[in-house]
Amino acid sequence: MEVTPVGADKFAGTSIENCYQCGKCTAGCPLADQMDVTPNQLFRLVQLGEVEKAARCGAIWLCVSCFTCTGRCPQSVECVEIIDALREYAAEHDCAPPDLQRIILFQKAFLDNIRRNGRINELELIRDFKTKGFLQDLSLPLLMKDALLAPKLMQRGKFHLTSEKAKDRELVGRIFARCTGTHAEGATS
Amino acid sequence: MARIGVFICWCGENIARTVDVKRATEEVEQIPGVRFAIDYKYMCSDPGQTMVRDKIIAERLQGLVIASCSPHMHMKTFRAAAKAAGLNPYLVEMANIREHCSWVHQNREEATAKAVELIRLAVGKVIQDKPLDAIKVPLTKRALVIGAGVAGIQASLDIAEAGHEVVLVEREPSIGGKMAGLSETFPTLDCSQCILTPRMVETGQHPNIKLYTWSEIESVDGSVGNFTVTIRKKARYIDMSKCTGCGECWNKCPMSKTLNDFDYGLSKRKAIYLAFPQAVPARPVIDKNACTKLKTGKCGICAKVCAAGAINYEDQDEIVTEQVGAIVVATGYKLYSIGQEQDNEKYTGYGEYGYGKYPDVIDALQFERLSSASGPTGGEIRRPSDGAVPKSVVFIACVGSRDPAKGVSYCSKICCMYTAKHTMLYKHKVHEGTAHVFYMDIRAGGKNYDEFVRRAIEKDGAKYYRGRVSKITEENGKLIVRAADTLAGVPVTIEADMVVLASAMLPSTGATELAQKLKVGYDEYGFLSESHPKLRPVETNSAGVFICGACHGPKDIPEAVAQASAAAGKVQVMFARNELTRDPEIAKINEQNCAACYACVRTCPYNAIEKAEIRDRQGNLVKMTARVNPGLCMGCGTCVAVCPSKSADIDGFSESQIYEMIKNL
């Protein structure tokens, strides 16, 4: 997938400059105690221009975009948007920590799936993700993990063997074009 | 031909950097009527002024133009110099080539041309100037002080001690303000009431102080030296002259459901009540919203038990007027309301802190009452919900302060200090308890202030965490405080028995409405504006109106008291003279021409123009005319603009002068 190039200058002039390190983002974050660096430290790194260092942190992949930090920030820093931008940077520059590469693989598979079908097809998603994951590090456990869930999901009608597709997939294509860098086209259309 | 001297100032580099002063001087010398032009590095300095004086005498000048900074800055300086050299001070004009030219332009060529034009205008005006005499205005040597907190009390006592009468107006039933409710004060931990109540008593008994409690300012008319103030004395339902303050009435009153505002809702009071035991005047007031007699006509117990017969259920608001020469505003502050109900749509409150939802989450002033010997718990630290002694208390600083998203962007200045004090008061009473403080920065600038905070941490064991609290929830009777220690980089969760929020300081309710009545400026938050932040800190842009205390901005007690004495000092400087002098640049009516249409009388914003009659020697009416009261006119020129017969004009700023300036362009 194509991503817009993100670098230190991308953050210049954004709300990141408002951050005065009060730590309220970390205080409210439901995952902060699982993170290698806390959200406020992440924002400090970005302020210092250490975007690459920030993008290498595992923390950005733990963020569930609950927006508690953004909602409570006294300085109106757009915390989640900044973490999103860091994830884009990490994906593009391939700098996520090795043990978290699979998260990127999953997200890419997820997006490819939507791009193709206009909606999610679970079976296709899992096939794509597991194949790519296996090819990456030849991990057998990955292939087999969650396999026992399949019958249950089938029982509940969560698996569709034939892939369902959205009607207007051209529209989906245009949304993707707009989000992945061909801004000029998107703006004029 | 006129003999005008032009003095062009470099203002160091301020003007000379952008304006070619030498060339401007040469060009200005060519203007008709200009005897000479001269430039100098600092015209306002002593050698500069000496040069101006010498030139006036040597060249027998008829007028002078100083091309320098704004007249707001140095008009007085150069008028004084002219006067010292024997020239009428109103024959001095200033061309502002700094604020209006060099500071706002970059192009040297164009800036120089503009400076020459500005000087040309001023020359045109000064040629038409006529000698004027300053206006003398009689002065009422009485002062009004609005608000009787510690600042208002200090200002009143200072002015009264200097021998002048003071009218002190307080809207609460007692004087004392916020300080009367505090426990102990930083950085010395002396008891607030012990130091304030003697001053309150002195204020109540001072022969020069006329006290109006339970009263508010209705309107203010007039101007510096002669204000007429209308005061509303709210119905107290007590005859103050008969009441002895014995206490029978409030002891017997059966209505005891009203929240006590002096304890910030932590206790209940009667419908007839004394604000607090040390109140001055020690007279009760009836709360008309709580009293059964006033609401339904039944009861009347207080009147029955009052031996002095001082209860008067028929009492009405009373309007009184007072004449004063100066006004000191000391209306103080209130706390930012932390709950979701806000009286200002700018603020959203902190739903996440559960203030108002959890009874044990309280604000700083409530904690002051909890730790005060005269408070609802008699000075024992007991939490509001069940009266238990809290073993773990969390103090949160910067609630509402430094928070542009939910509150105000400024620092409330005193919270760091009183939070440290709170931890000490708590630890001194609950030895086994733990005080946790969440702060963003510790701002403890002041004599012995930082030492005080260190003492709280080092000697009294307060645990300080650098980080803002995100949320407070309640689980099994404990308050769960979720925060982060940004220094350690870890989330922190504390189970607390009580939480104290150091809420931001806001100007007190009604401060902006009062400011409008007094024509005093205020900022976006409603704090009153001083005339100059450094050199005129207690004056306002409304002459004769002074400010002190927290109505001007967040402030601690020593600062408020110092400012109050400063304001009182300014009033005394004013009262040291027997009359005031004012610049004579005011409106004048050509009474022969005036058609007596009174358009000016109707439009004058200062009510300075009145209808007058012109009579001959026999007393026969010749004609009607409008006439300016020189004591009230502010020289705004509205009358000049509306007069259809061109009979109104401003001395020193006449229409002919303005035409001359335009012609000179």
Block means of pLDDT (10 residues each) for chain B, length 665 residues? 92 95 96 95 96 96 96 93 96 96 96 97 94 92 98 98 98 97 96 96 98 97 92 96 95 94 95 95 95 93 95 96 98 93 86 94 97 94 96 97 94 97 97 96 96 96 96 95 94 97 96 95 96 92 94 97 98 95 92 95 90 94 93 89 95 93 89
H, E, C per residue of B75-127:
HHHHHHHHHHCCCCHHHEEEEECHHHHHCCCCCHHHHHHHHHHHHHHHHHHHH
Burial code (b: 16+ CB inside 10 Å, e: under 16) for A115-143 equals: ebbbeebebbbbebbbebbeeeeeeeebe
Residue at which a domain ends, from B478, B506, B534: B506
A44 at B interface, C-beta within 8 A: no
Tokens of residue B518, six digits: 């007094």
User: What integer pLDDT is reported at residue B26 of this predicted model?
Assistant: 96
| CA distances, B658 to each of B1, B65, B67, B98, B125 (Å) | 20, 16, 18, 21, 7
Rounded to the nearest angstrom, the gap between the alpha carbon of residue A71 and the centroid of all alpha carbons in its chain is: 20
Q: Which of A15, A24, A73 to mutate to test the interface with B (most CBs of B within 10 A)?
A: A24
Instruction: Give me the CATH number covering residue B446.
Output: 3.50.50.60
The whole-angstrom distance between B399's CA and the closest CA on chain A is: 10
* Mean pLDDT for the stretch of residues A138-163: 78
For B34-52, b/e burial (b = at least 16 CB within 10 A) is: bbebebbeebbeeebbebb
Q: pLDDT of B52-72, one tens digit each?
A: 999 999 999 999 999 999 998
Q: Do residues B428 and B557 both lie within one domain? A: no
Find chain B residues with C-beta within 8 A of A24's C-beta: 467-470, 484
Place of tokens 């993100």: A6
| A25 domain residue, yes or no | yes
| pLDDT for residue B177 | 97
Q: Which of B486, B506, B526 is the last residue of a domain?
A: B506
Reported as half-sphere exposure (CB side, CA atoms, 13 A), residue A170 has a value of 0
Please state whether beta strands B190-191 and B184-185 pair in parallel, antiparallel, or not at all (unpaired): antiparallel
| Contact flag A72-B484 (C-beta cutoff 8 Å) | no
pLDDT for the residue numbered B428: 96
Co-location of B408 and B467 in the same domain? yes
| Residue B353: predicted pLDDT | 95
Q: Is the CA virtual torsion B406, B407, B409, B411 positive or negative?
A: negative
Q: Is B437:B411 a contact under the CB 8 Å cutoff?
A: no
Distance of CA B430 to the CA centre of its chain: 40
B30 with B121, same domain: the answer is yes
Q: Within this chain, do residues A61 and A48 fall inside the same structural domain, yes or no?
A: yes
Q: Please tell me whether residues B328 and B346 are part of one structural domain.
A: no
Asked if residue A87 and residue A33 are part of one domain, the reply reads yes
**Does the predicted interface ipTM exceed a cut of 0.85?**
no
The confidence score (pLDDT) of residue B1 equals 66
CATH of the domain at B51: 3.40.50
Decide if B484 touches A, using CB distance below 8 A: yes
Supply the mean pLDDT for chain B.
95
- Establish if B74 touches chain A: CB-CB under 8 angstroms: no
Rounded-to-integer distance, Cα B469 and Cα B159, Å: 46
Full-model pTM: 0.83
Q: How far is CA B150 from the centre of its chain?
A: 15
If asked whether residues A46 and A77 sit together in one domain, one would say yes
Q: Which of B489, B506, B523 is the last residue of a domain?
A: B506
Structure tokens at B321: 């007027």
Among residues A64, A93, A122, the one where a domain terminates is A93
Examine the domain organization and report whether A42 and A59 are in the same domain: yes
Question: What would the two tokens of residue B400 be?
Answer: 């509402």
For residue B346, which amino acid is it?
Answer: K
| pLDDT value at residue B582 | 84
The CA distance from A162 to B37, in Å, is 96
User: A80 with A127, same domain?
Assistant: no
Q: Does the residue B580 lie in any domain?
A: no
What domain range includes position B28?
A: 4-134
Q: What does the pLDDT read at residue A183?
A: 44
pLDDT of residue B473: 96
Verify that B501 and B520 share a domain, yes or no: no
Backbone angles phi, psi at B242, to 5 degrees: -90, -35
pLDDT band at A185 (very low <50, low <70, confident <90, very high): very low
State mean pLDDT over A147-160: 80
What's the domain range around A139?
Answer: 98-188
Q: Which residues in chain A are contacts of B486 at CB distance < 8 A? A: 21-23, 26, 38, 40-41
User: Which residue of chain B has the CA closest to A33?
Assistant: B491
* Same-domain pairing of B189 and B164: yes
| pLDDT for res A3 | 41
Residues B222 and B266 reside in one and the same domain: no
Q: Which pLDDT score, from 0 to 100, does residue A108 have?
A: 87
In a domain, B8, yes or no: yes
B471 contact residues in A (CB cutoff 8 A): 27-28, 72
pLDDT at A7: 53
Structural domains counted in chain A: 2
Is residue A68 located within the same domain as residue A116? no
Structure tokens at A64: 């569930």
Residue B345's Cβ-count burial label (10 Å; 0-12, 13-18, 19+) is exposed
Is residue B32 located within the same domain as residue B97? yes
Residues of A in contact with B464 (CB under 8 A): none
Residue at A3 is within a domain? no
Shortest Cα–Cα distance, B406 to chain A (Å): 7
- For residue B594, the Cα-to-chain-centroid distance in whole angstroms is 41
Q: Are residues A70 and A115 in the same domain?
A: no
CA distances from B405 to A15, A30, A55, B470 (A): 13, 22, 28, 14
CATH number of residue B592's parent domain: 3.30.70.20
For residue B243, is it within any domain?
A: no
Of A28, A58, A93, the one marking the end of a domain is A93
* Shared-domain flag, residues B22 and B130: yes
- Supply A181's token pair: 């860098």
Three-state secondary structure call for residue B43:
coil
Angle CA B341–B265–B152, to nearest 5: 90
The tally of CA atoms less than 13 A away on the side-chain side of residue B661 is: 16
Q: Is residue A2 part of a domain?
A: no
- A75 & A123 share domain: no
Q: How many CB pairs under 8 A join A and B?
A: 73
Q: How far apart are CA B136 and CA B631, in angstroms?
A: 8
Which chain A residue shows the shortest CA-CA distance from B481?
A27
Residues B17 and B60 in one domain: yes
A85 shares a domain with A15: yes
Cβ neighbours of B307 (radius 10 Å): 9
Residue A37 with chain B: CB contacts under 8 Å: 489
